Amino acid sequence: MLLCGFAVFFDYNFIFEPLKFRYFIYRVESARTASEEIQAFKLAANWGRVWEVNQLRAQDWPVGRERPQSEWLLDLEWLESSPFSGAGYHAYRGVIDTNNLLILQTKEY
Record the pTM.
0.87
**Cβ atoms of 96 and 28 closer than 8 Å:** no
Q: What is the pLDDT of residues 27-78, one digit of tens each?
A: 999 999 999 999 999 998 888 888 889 999 999 999 998 889 888 999 999 9
Q: What is the pLDDT of residues 56-68, one digit of tens each?
A: 999 999 999 888 9
Q: What is the spatial distance between Cα 57 and Cα 71, in angstroms, rounded to a whole number? A: 9
Three-class DSSP category at 72: coil
Query: Where do the structural domains in the chain lie, given as residue ranges?
Result: 2-105
